[in-house]
Amino acid sequence: MRAFIFPGQGSQAVGMGAALAAASPAAREVFDEVDEALGQNLFRLMTEGPEADLTLTENAQPAIMANALATLRVLEREGNVVLRDKGHAVAGHSLGEYSALCATGAFDLTTTARLLKTRGQAMQAAVPVGEGAMAALLGADIEKAEALAAAAAQGEVCAVANDNDPSQVVISGHKSAIERAIEQVKDFGIKRGVLLPVSAPFHCPLMQPAADAMAAALAEVASPGPFLPVYANVTAAQVSDTATIKALLVEQVTGRVRWRESIAAMWDAGFTEFVEMGGRVLGPMVKRIAPDATVSSIISMDDIEALVGRI
């Protein structure tokens, strides 16, 4: 079986989408629709920068989604590879879960762009700049990461945010707690801790104000539900019921992204092929989780043509 997967924050780069839009009217339609939905020229920011503005959470989140959905639309319209026919489930990393839901019809493109703009703004506003931090723990499995986080907390928030793959876990919380964790990595048999260049401590309890904002935003959105199962970040299991999807999206803001467990569950369920849309971040993680899986990362027209010729 084949899963389509969608990248999260960190996969943005100045120039993203430019070549695809130049080559395909279908891609350009997506970028134009997102610009109209947000009332800003996000596509120009994506293609021209400045990088500092593109990296802002409120811009990066809808930009990454737009790039992934533009890639999918070109694949479907010009390659005649239709997700409903060629995919058996979808998943997305953090904000990528919104991309996955949009791809499967649970939210339309305009709604998805506006939800992600709200999500980005709310996550940025939840914690004053400088009070939170995140760090990647390299050479850490989930047990070591949890033990380190517990030891470093000392009454503050220090939690596992992303369980990415068997060798990389991200922690999030108060800056002082994250700094203590980095200092203690060797004591827990972890190779290295690297402070991440992020503006807020995502996927930890400090994000509760953003979770409240997303609960309110999602309550106003109608959804017919996805036409393919979605593997949810916070449960690492299939979900298709609209009410449950919305509840899990709210929980996801403060909860752990269980990516390693999601891919492992998909592999155990018989998924042997994973197609990453609009990025090259998730593919390597998938290979570290399921080494025998077939993985494709689709960004360019050449990538699309190669996939069309194969599936």
In which residue ranges of the chain is pLDDT below 70?
none
Active-site residue, 176 included: no
Catalogue all structural domains in the chain, each as residue range(s) with its CATH number.
2-126+206-308 (3.40.366.10), 132-198 (3.30.70.250)
- Which DSSP helix (H) or strand (E) runs through 2? strand 2-6
Q: Which residues contact 49 (CB under 8 A, 6 or more apart)?
A: 14
Q: Which residues contact 47 (CB under 8 A, 6 or more apart)?
A: 14, 15, 16, 17, 18, 21
Q: Give me the catalytic one of 11, 24, 93, 94.
A: 94
Q: Which residues contact 126 (CB under 8 A, 6 or more apart)?
A: 200, 206, 207, 208, 209, 210
- pLDDT score recorded for residue 36: 98
Q: Give me the catalytic one of 11, 203, 262, 297.
A: 203
- pLDDT score recorded for residue 179: 98
Which of helix, strand or coil describes residue 133?
Answer: strand
Nearest to 54, CA basis, from 181, 199, 217, 221: 199
- pLDDT score recorded for residue 260: 98
- pLDDT score recorded for residue 198: 85
- pLDDT score recorded for residue 11: 87
Active-site residue, 203 included: yes
